[in-house]
Amino acid sequence: RRSSDLSARASAEHGITRFRASISPGNVASLNLIRKLGFAPVGRQHHAQRGDELVFHHDGPPAAGTDGG
């Protein structure tokens, strides 16, 4: 899948191992997409302009040259 390709590239080229998304609870389309991509809910936050948001994390592959932990 393209999303796994992107996370593998981000990990290999930039050392990124966790991805974060914050989405309005009323944005059903984005919530469905983020769940399909394997993001897990981790909490809530309040944004000054956008209001309440649900927060999701997705752990990508370990960066090259690391043991994953």
For residues 1-29, give the mean pLDDT: 85
Does the structure show a pLDDT above 80 at 3? Answer: no
Report CA 52 to chain centroid distance, whole Å: 17
What pTM was computed for the model? 0.75
- What DSSP designation does 29 have? H
List C-alpha distances in Å: 61 to 8, 25, 47, 53.
6, 28, 29, 26
Q: How many CB atoms lie within 10 A of CB 23?
A: 19
Q: Which of these ranges, 4-18, 37-51, 54-68, has the smallest mean pLDDT?
A: 54-68
Rounded-to-integer distance, Cα 57 and Cα 36, Å: 13
pLDDT for the residue numbered 22:
96
